[in-house]
Amino acid sequence: MYDHRPTTERLIVLHARRRPLLLTAAALAAAAALGGCTSEPARPGGAAGDRGEPAVKITPQPDPANAPLPLDAYGFDTSQQKVLQQAQDILTEACMHRVGFASFKNTSTYVTAGAGARRTTSGIGLVDAEAAKKYGYRSGGLPDREAGAAQKRDPSETAALFGSQDGAPAHPGAPEGGCAGEAARKLYPRSTTGPAGAPAGNGLVDELAQQAADRARGDSRVTAAVTEWSACMREAGFQVKTPWELQQMEGTRWTGPVTSEEITAATTDVSCKQRTKLSDTWTAVLAAYQTQLVEKRKQDLDQEKKHLGEQVRFAEKVLAGGGA
Amino acid sequence: MRKAARFTAVALSAATIALGTVTAAHAGDYTENGVRIRSNSNTSAAVLGLGYTSHTITPICYQAGTVINGNKWWDKHRNNNTGVTGFSSMTLLTKWASGHC
């Protein structure tokens, strides 16, 4: 693990333990623990800039779960990701053929989300009304693993592909981590700058995305909207202080088949986020903090983007038949 | 207010699921940032690393575990960016293994 800062999981526990406190006080304590925000008392609805907060213009987002954000420009786009996956397939297959699995096809080892798949959650949980109505808090469009008999891969092929698993012997002649490991090492080389073992590619983008979200959670405009959302939920009979508390609940509360109670909770949740403008406020505030961080670290981000470009160029060379 | 009381009680008892923190339209294989990669397919297993929406994965195999969002399946995978191998709930991924562990 390369990120030692407090995680959201810890943040939510903090909220839960301090339930008798006002939401603003709990959010403030969490923000202080994260070390990213001022210790000045939060003022719900306070004007932009009075706590050193960036100015924001809150505009309606037709699809808040997929709203574009400033840091997106520094990651792979979908076409680049496709090129990387195709290159990984080619490199893995070349290696598997080399170690004795002549008919191996890497595409048989995984399935991907369909072309129509889209995100339905944001940093404040479920925000998609259509998904709430259809699936409640569940993820729609996942492969059905209950249908048909489960595939079990040949242990020898698994060892060649992924390396030794659970104490099983390695396949003779296969590289460390198997052929999949070798392909990944070629396409995602370790960082040659920064801390040892730093992740390949987007380490800085990940760090800044996390920082922006931490700051957005403590922002007075967001905490004010959260208070309104909580009141909206309470009016509908659901007593919950923050979307993060609810988001945590989503994972373990709804375990059986989807019930009408879950659908009601999910649709009320999304409707309250729209009514109180929490969805749009979150997007605007998060984008503002990302913009601040991008401006501050532009040189480093540009450097990281250059490295990503090199990764994509190597992948394109593999596709053209020159990199395996 | 019976419904409200039930809702709150569950909120207090939940503690250890992996959950996302940020929206970003990166084209990776995790649906959220900060997805926990665990040593086994349950929420009490050790966290070996974190997955971000910018990261891609190599799915290895799947097995049953703690039910997350009504789904019991967890995928063993290798995070291509960090090199960490472990399990995450399939509900937090956009690429999945085709073979059972």
Element (H, E) at A126: strand A125-126
Q: Average pLDDT of A313-322?
A: 92
Q: Average pLDDT of A26-43?
A: 31
Q: Which of A72, A138, A210 sits opposite B69 (nearest CB)?
A: A138
Taking the CA of residue B43 and the nearest CA in chain A, the distance in Å comes to 10
Give the tens place of pLDDT for each residue, A155-178.
899 999 999 887 778 888 899 999
The verdict on A58 touching B (C-beta cutoff 8 Å) is no
The arrangement of secondary structure in B17-92, i.e. its CATH architecture, is Roll (2.30)
pLDDT band at A12 (very low <50, low <70, confident <90, very high): very low
- Which residues from A are below 8 Å from B7, CB to CB? 238-240, 249, 265
> Which residues of A, range 181-200, sit inside 8 Å of B by Cβ?
181, 184, 187-188, 190, 197, 199-200
> Which residues of B, range 20-59, sit inside 8 Å of A by Cβ?
20-28, 31-34, 36, 43, 47-50, 52-56, 58-59
Residue-level pLDDT at A235: 95
pLDDT at residue A323 tops 90: no
- Look at B95 and A113 and tell me if their CB atoms are within 8 Å: yes
Taking the mean position of all CA atoms in its chain, how far away is CA A66? 12
- Which residues from B are below 8 Å from A137, CB to CB? 69-70
* Lowest mean pLDDT segment, chosen from A22-26, A143-147, B33-37: A22-26
Q: Which of B66, B78, B94 sits opposite A180 (nearest CB)?
A: B78
- Which residues from B are below 8 Å from A150, CB to CB? 99-100
Give the tens place of pLDDT for each residue, A48-80.
555 689 999 999 989 999 899 999 999 888 899
- Look at B23 and A119 and tell me if their CB atoms are within 8 Å: yes
Taking the CA of residue B14 and the nearest CA in chain A, the distance in Å comes to 6
The verdict on B90 touching A (C-beta cutoff 8 Å) is yes
The verdict on B9 touching A (C-beta cutoff 8 Å) is no
Q: Average pLDDT of A249-276?
A: 84
- In this structure, the strands spanning A125-126 and B47-51 are unpaired
Give the tens place of pLDDT for each residue, B76-87.
999 998 889 999
First to last CA, chain A: 30
* Lowest mean pLDDT segment, chosen from A21-30, A241-250, A283-292: A21-30
The verdict on A213 touching B (C-beta cutoff 8 Å) is yes
For chain A, give the number of residues.
Answer: 324
Q: Average pLDDT of A108-129?
A: 86
In chain B, what are the domain boundaries? Answer: 17-92
* Region for B99 from its dihedrals, namely left if φ exceeds 0, alpha if ψ lies in -120 to 50, beta otherwise: beta
> Which residues of A, range 12-41, sit inside 8 Å of B by Cβ?
13, 16, 19
> What are the backbone dihedrals phi and psi of residue B49, each rounded to the nearest 5 degrees, phi first?
180, 180
Q: What percent of chain A has a predicted confidence (pLDDT) above 90? A: 53
The Cα B74–Cα B101 span in angstroms is 10
Taking the CA of residue B80 and the nearest CA in chain A, the distance in Å comes to 6
What angle, rounded to 10 degrees, do the helices at A8-17 and A243-253 form?
A: 100
Given a contact cutoff of 8 angstroms between Cβ atoms, the answer to whether B11 and A249 are in contact is: yes
